[in-house]
Structure 1
Amino acid sequence: MASNNPHIGSGELRPSPLLGVDDPPPFQIINPAGASSFLIVCDHAGKLIPRRLGSLGLGPEELGRHIAWDLGAAELSVMLSKALDATLIRQTYSRLVIDCNRDPSAPDAMAPVSDGTIIPGNQDLSAEDRAARVESIHEPYHSAIASALGEKTIVAIHSFTPEMNGVVRPWKIGILHHLGNTGFAMSVLAELGRMTTQPVGDNEPYAMDGIDYTVPRHAYPAELPYLEIEVRQDILLTPEGRARISALLQTVLQKCKP
């Protein structure tokens, strides 16, 4: 299912135990010939569900919430890809089908409950059910990242809710880092602190730790520079907000480029 658009592709995909011929590929590659030394990834860009899984037992309202995808992250990642002339690989399917930023063996990789919402289609999954999701969605996405990465710097784009469990989150941008080559992430964190008066989270509202999967899998082993960016979702709900954040991140990433 490759696109006729030279700036968009899906790679060569093998037959899938879950995805039918009418289902989109599990990932999309935008600007595959991008000249930038950055590789942008968006683990939670999409909210589609394979036809064979129906709606996972959820209604449209639940499937539009943050539990299903990172609101605004897909649009922001496309804007950055264009501004930086960087290749972007983004996930097509909802994190409720399988979370591509989790180890596939983790309990919340196919969460039975998310932010208080029971996911009927994720209850009592068999080993075969789980394996089909890994083989059809998780592994092709990560194989595409591995094929495109080389010596590039991985930039992972996410978004977060303004409030969680009754706690207001003041940060507008968060920079996540942990092990491996953290120099680039720390430079971006410092530069954002100089360029904006808004609170910038240092491993806030989430800390990169054993929960994250994409950056540890692809950046840590070869000591590649990396960056995981979290942007508060209310900022990304309008074109103007996305444009402001994209322009800010473009400037900072180019200035701090390894």
Structure 2
Amino acid sequence: NPDGRSSAVLLCDHASNAVPRSLPEIAVQHEALREHTGWDIGAARLSRRLSALLDAPLVLSGYSRLVIDCNRPLGSPSSIPVVSCGVPIPGNAITAEEAAARADECFWPYHRAVTALLDARRDRRQPTAILSVHSFTPSMPGQERPWQAAILYGRDRRLAAPFIEALRREPGLCVGDNEPYRVSEGGDYGIPVHGEARGLPCVLLEIRQDGLLSAEGVEAWAQRLAAIYREIEASGLPGAGGG
């Protein structure tokens, strides 16, 4: 939906657990690919539903984060992980030249698509804000995660603050404010590069994966997040650009 009328642009960095045919050694890690280590479970379905509700353009990554993580700076240890959550990933102990070739195949096409979309909206003077959609596992070794949703941000809180406020008004919802993760230039790529570097309002939305396992759960979260964004949009988006 590249011509969506919403000011929102949706990104889904961990949408897929696919592996290129050129990397069969990674494909043998079936369990790791199916689990949260391989992708953000439910994030693609939630993103697509949000795109429809908001009439917003959406860009989805095409490959598993075990192949290359589209939300990590190239060259960082978690960009092409040799080990993920204690599981060795065969085929990821590669040279710098091999890593660059993998980025050309699996990382840059996604980010070039985002850049082209944002450039076109800038040229049309169309107001734009970045919503990056993710999901997180309910538990990690030694850590139970009580939050049903987490709102993450770096330097820019223009979207994060109203999202946190709106979600915390809902009875029974536990909402993380930059937890269990936080956005940083050293650890993230999408928000710092596509949002902050352009001066666009931007936020990373994390939904706990057990809330996205059913169609009903996806629909409930999509309706909730879409309603909040419409309220924010109606109140004005400082710095979103436009004519």
Aligned position for 1:21: none
- Count residues in correspondence: 226
| Structure 1 gap segments, 5+ residues each | 1-30
Alpha-carbon distance in 2 for matches of 1:50, 1:43: 17
Among all aligned residue pairs of Structure 1 and Structure 2, give the percentage whose two residues are the same amino acid: 42
| Conserved? CA contact 1:235–1:242, under 8 Å | yes
Post-superposition offset of 1:55: 4.2
Correspondences of 1:75-86 after superposition (within 5 Å):
75-86=45-56
Structure 1 consecutive aligned stretches of length 4 or more whose deviation exceeds 6 Å: none
Alpha-carbon distance in 2 for matches of 1:161, 1:54: 26
Letter in 1 for 2:170: M
Aligned position for 1:130: 99
Change (3 A) 1:235 1:198: same
Pairing 1:193–2:165 present? no
| Conserved? CA contact 2:149–2:175, under 8 Å | yes
Pairing 1:110–2:88 present? no
TM-score of the superposed pair, with normalisation by structure 1: 0.85
| Conserved? CA contact 1:57–1:119, under 8 Å | no
Alpha-carbon distance in 2 for matches of 1:45, 1:57: 17
Alpha-carbon distance in 1 for matches of 2:79, 2:102: 10
Alpha-carbon distance in 2 for matches of 1:176, 1:108: 19
Q: Deviation per CA, 1:173-225, whole angstroms, max 9, x where unpaired?
A: 0000111x321211111111113431000001111123111000011122210
Alpha-carbon distance in 2 for matches of 1:194, 1:85: 26
Post-superposition offset of 1:107: 1.4
Pairing 1:145–2:121 present? no
Q: What is the alpha-carbon root mean square deviation over aligned residues?
A: 1.2
Letter in 1 for 2:182: A
Letter in 1 for 2:108: E
Aligned position for 1:96: 66
Letter in 2 for 1:230: E
Pairing 1:45–2:15 present? yes
Aligned position for 1:34: 4
Letter in 1 for 2:217: G
Letter in 2 for 1:92: G
